[in-house]
Structure formats: structure tokens, C-alpha cells
């Protein structure tokens, strides 16, 4: 299909986003940017958060991984649901009671200033790494599929996409994102369903026959009962629960959307609803992954992993499916990138630079400062995407979850210690604990064969990292 037509579709789609941003961003101030004035509709937030939780990585990586990992990702998804229930009934009541704009304000009240700053910096590094890895994957697909043939360099493609995101988040922030994420999630899910239905028809299979064909290839295997394997179901479910608690429950990007809902009860409904919907949506992604591998085998497609879905959709399907794939792909891209950019801006302004405490600044100066920080965050996104281009990992979802084990572990330990103990800590030592725990975790992971023999550590490294942080905080507690 002509790259000019695909490019024109992206431009029209972006124009629609700008229109939504213009309509919803009118009269926005800093409170609108940070938490949407706490007036967001919980159903819109829940639906829009599907797109943020999934991203372009889920859209291409989860189906692409079915060839190697079968349906095992569903084990992690069951853990996600457990994690969302814990967030709804443990963390959200805490955040609403303290009336937090930044959730890391809890650490300041509970442990001290350096604990608070440590938590904020851990989030900033974690979210920057995760969001830019997701962004890189989609930018790279658009580059290969469309812009290489037009002679546009990768760095220019990245700059243009970041400029698009800045344009529609610059004024409204969370107030705008709640609406744009809803639009984008709708497009992504519609694309997923249309591609699935097309492949079923092309393969000439009914729903039951497709499962039979996948089962014959071994794709439908979900649970691994070998305790020594990384994919052992208990490890995966526990990892999924803790990944959700850390990457959603103690993540400013995800929580600022939930905190934009007026009532705690509605915010809890949003969180539990999100958990059940994600279970269904990821199941559909895995099912589509099985169909993609059957389709690829029939069409003699050589691609695998993250390249499988883009190759089939753009080179082995009719033009209208290619168009739907591109719309769905960019719809998966923007919710994770725009929310991360807004959340990082919020955390830097509130947690690191203490903008709300600067009483001598008037509202105009605060707004100018916030917009400048937003641009600096965009620049950091550009740098990180270029780094991931150099790394060029074949399965980004595995890389992202692996990195999360190192970066989010200290946050898990900090919040767990604050919630489940009543001890104060020596605040000046907390940053050292938050650095030491991931370093020790890295060496445990690197030398796990020497340490544990046949027993393999996978995504549960996040739990180990959090536990090391917890133990470290226990050692520096005040008597």
C-alpha cells in the first residue's frame, strides 16, 4: 500500500486528536493539567486507562510472542486482576484520605523529605524508561512501514510524533488525556476485533475450529507447572500482581487519572472494572496472536516476534486492513506516551522542584515553568528512544517487564514499609537503600544459575528487589 496514503491517514487522525484536545482543554489551569480538577467521569477514566495499560507493545509484542511463549502471558494477566483489586481497596483509600496530587506526597508524610524525593526520582526513571521503550517500538514500525520509503530519517519521525503529543497535552494535561485516551482506546480495540474477524474468515475457520488448530500447534498452553521454570504459574501470577501494584498503584501516571475522579467509590469501581476488562482484552490479543501464527504459516511469512503482526498486516492483507492496523497502532501508541509525558511533568514540578510550595510565584509563572518542564521531558523522550533504537531488542514487552523489576522494586519496598509497619526511618539513608537494592538484584539475576542451580528467577525479580528494599529500611528504622 502507498506510504503516502498511510501518512495521510496518520495526519487526519492526529487532526482529530487536536480537535478533541481543543474542545476539552478550554479554560485549563495547573489543577486541570495535574489531576483534571478531580471532575473526571470514572467510566471514561477506566476505558481510557485500557489504552494506557496496554500500549503499542501489547498490540504487537503479545501476539508476536505466542509462537514461543504460547498463551502463558495469561498467567501474568490473572495476577494483574489481583493487583487491581489490591490497589482499589488498599492504596486508593490512602491517597484519597490524604488528598494527594502526587502520590509520593505519602512518602513525605510517612518517612521524610529524602524518602519522598527518592520515590519521585524512582518513578521518573522507571516511567521514562518504560514509556520510551513503548514509544520506540511503534515509531520503529511506522518508520519501517512508511517513512523509510519516503526518505525520512528515524530521528525526524520521532521528533514529529513527540511534537504531536506536545501539541495536544501542552494545555489540558489530564483533563484532555481522559478524553483523547477514550477515543484512542476505542480505535485500538476496534482494530483488534476487525483484524481478528478478517483472519478467521481468510483461514476459513470457525471459532471452535481455530482453537482446535491452535491447540494442535501447542499455542493454547497457559499454565506451566514446573517450579524451576521462569514461567511457573505461581511465579507468573505473583509477578503479575506485583507488577500491577507497582506500575499502576504506585505510579503517578496511572494514579493521577484515578485521582481525577471525584469520589473514592467511583475511583475504586474504575480500578476493578479496568482489571476485568484487561483480562478479556489481553485474552483477545493472545487469541489473535494464535491466528497470526496460523495465518503466517499459510502465507509463508518469515517474520517473527514483534515484526510478525506489522509484516502480515501491511504486506499480506488487503489495503483496508493495513489502514485499520496503522490507525489501531497509533491509537495504541499515544495513550501510553501522552500520559507518561504529563505524569513526568507533574512529578518533576510538584515532587522535585516543589512548585506548589513556591508561594511567591503567581499562577502565570507556575504555568510557564510547567510548560518548560514539559518540553524538557519531551527532549528526554527523544534521547531515550534513540538509545532503544541502538539496543533494538526483538521482544520489547520482555525487555520492559525485565527493566521494571529493577526500577520499580524500591518503590514497592518504600510503600510496603510505610503501609505495613509503624516505624520511622533514618531518612538520610533511604536513597542509599534505594540504590543498593536494584544493584544487589542485578547480581542475583546475573548469577542465579550459580546461586540457585536449576531454579530460575523471572519476573518475580521485582518482588525480590522490593523485599531487599524493605529489609534495608527495616535495618535503618528508628528504635
Task: Encode 164-184: b = buried (16+ Cβ within 10 Å), e = exposed.
Answer: bbbebbbbbbbbbbbbbbbbb
Would you call 179 helix, strand, or coil by DSSP?
A: helix
Alpha carbon distance, N-terminus to C-terminus of the chain = 69
Q: State the helix-helix crossing angle for 174-203 and 42-69, rounded to 10 degrees.
A: 40
- 343 in Cβ contact with 65 (< 8 Å): no
Per-10-residue mean pLDDT, the chain, length 479? 76 78 58 49 63 68 86 92 93 85 82 90 86 82 81 88 75 59 77 90 90 92 86 88 87 74 84 88 91 90 83 87 83 70 82 79 81 88 88 64 81 91 92 94 87 79 92 91
Report pTM. 0.76
What's the rounded Cα separation, in Å, for the pair 307 and 393? Answer: 11
pLDDT at 436: 95
Q: For residue 416, what is the enclosing H or E element?
A: helix 409-420
d(CA 285, CA 80): 15
pLDDT value at residue 60? 79
Q: Which residue has the cell 483461514?
A: 203
C-alpha cell at position 300: 509463508
Q: What pLDDT score does 362 carry?
A: 79
Residues 253 and 336: their CA atoms lie apart, in Å, by: 9
- 410 Cβ contact partners less than 8 Å away, ≥ 6 residues apart: 118, 122, 433, 434, 437, 438, 465, 466, 469
Q: How many CB atoms lie within 10 A of CB 20?
A: 17
What span, in angstroms and rounded, lies between the C-alpha atoms of 156 and 147?
10
Give the pLDDT confidence score for residue 89 in this predicted structure.
93
pLDDT at 32: 46
Amino acid at each position: 500500500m502507498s506510504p503516502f496514503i498511510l501518512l495521510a491517514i496518520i495526519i487526519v487522525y492526529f487532526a482529530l486528536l487536536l480537535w478533541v484536545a481543543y474542545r476539552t482543554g478550554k479554560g485549563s489551569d495547573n489543577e486541570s493539567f495535574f489531576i483534571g480538577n478531580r471532575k473526571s467521569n470514572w467510566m471514561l477514566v477506566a476505558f481510557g486507562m485500557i489504552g494506557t495499560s496496554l500500549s503499542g507493545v501489547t498490540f504487537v509484542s503479545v501476539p508476536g510472542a505466542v509462537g514461543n511463549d504460547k498463551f502463558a502471558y495469561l498467567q501474568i494477566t490473572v495476577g494483574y486482576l489481583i493487583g487491581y483489586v489490591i490497589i482499589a481497596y488498599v492504596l486508593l483509600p490512602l491517597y484519597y484520605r490524604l488528598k494527594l496530587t502526587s502520590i509520593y506526597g505519602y512518602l513525605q508524610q510517612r518517612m521524610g523529605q529524602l524518602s519522598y524525593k527518592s520515590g519521585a526520582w524512582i518513578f521518573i526513571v522507571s516511567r521514562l524508561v518504560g514509556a520510551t521503550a513503548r514509544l520506540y517500538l511503534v515509531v520503529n514500525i511506522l518508520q519501517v512501514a512508511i517513512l523509510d520509503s519516503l526518505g525520512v530519517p528515524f530521528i525526524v519521525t520521532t521528533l514529529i510524533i513527540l511534537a504531536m503529543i506536545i501539541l495536544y497535552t501542552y494545555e489540558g494535561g489530564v483533563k484532555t488525556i481522559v478524553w483523547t485516551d477514550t477515543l484512542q482506546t476505542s480505535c485500538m480495540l476496534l482494530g483488534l476485533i476487525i483484524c481478528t474477524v478478517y483472519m478467521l474468515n481468510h483461514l476459513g475457520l470457525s471459532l471452535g475450529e481455530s482453537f482446535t488448530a491452535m491447540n494442535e500447534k501447542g499455542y493454547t498452553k497457559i499454565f506451566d507447572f514446573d517450579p524451576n521454570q521462569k514461567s511457573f504459574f505461581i511465579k507468573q501470577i505473583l509477578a503479575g500482581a506485583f507488577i500491577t501494584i507497582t506500575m499502576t498503584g504506585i505510579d503517578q501516571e496511572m494514579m493521577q487519572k484515578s485521582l481525577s475522579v471525584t469520589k473514592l467509590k467511583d475511583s475504586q469501581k474504575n480500578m476493578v472494572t479496568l482489571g476485568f476488562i484487561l483480562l478479556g482484552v489481553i485474552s483477545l490479543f493472545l487469541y489473535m496472536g494464535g491466528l497470526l501464527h496460523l495465518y503466517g504459516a499459510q502465507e509463508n511469512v518469515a517474520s517473527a516476534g514483534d515484526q510478525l503482526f506489522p509484516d502480515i498486516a501491511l504486506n499480506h492483507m488487503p489495503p483496508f486492513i493495513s489502514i485499520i492496523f496503522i490507525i489501531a497502532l497509533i491509537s495504541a501508541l499515544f495513550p501510553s506516551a501522552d500520559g507518561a509525558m504529563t505524569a513526568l511533568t507533574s512529578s518533576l514540578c510538584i515532587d522535585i522542584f516543589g512548585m506548589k510550595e513556591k508561594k511567591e510565584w503567581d499562577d502565570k509563572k507556575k504555568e510557564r515553568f510547567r510548560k518548560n518542564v514539559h518540553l524538557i521531558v519531551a527532549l528526554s523522550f527523544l534521547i531515550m528512544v534513540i538509545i532503544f533504537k541502538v539496543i533494538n531488542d526483538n521482544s520489547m514487552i520482555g525487555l520492559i517487564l525485565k527493566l521494571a523489576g529493577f526500577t520499580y522494586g524500591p518503590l514497592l519496598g518504600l510503600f510496603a514499609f510505610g503501609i505495613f509497619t509503624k516505624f520511622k526511618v533514618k531518612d538520610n539513608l533511604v536513597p542509599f537503600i534505594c540504590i543498593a537494592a536494584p544493584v544487589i538484584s542485578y547480581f542475583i539475576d546475573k548469577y542465579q544459575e550459580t546461586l540457585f542451580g536449576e531454579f530460575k528467577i523471572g519476573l518475580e525479580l521485582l518482588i525480590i528487589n522490593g523485599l531487599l528494599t524493605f529489609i534495608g529500611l527495616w535495618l535503618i528504622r528508628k528504635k
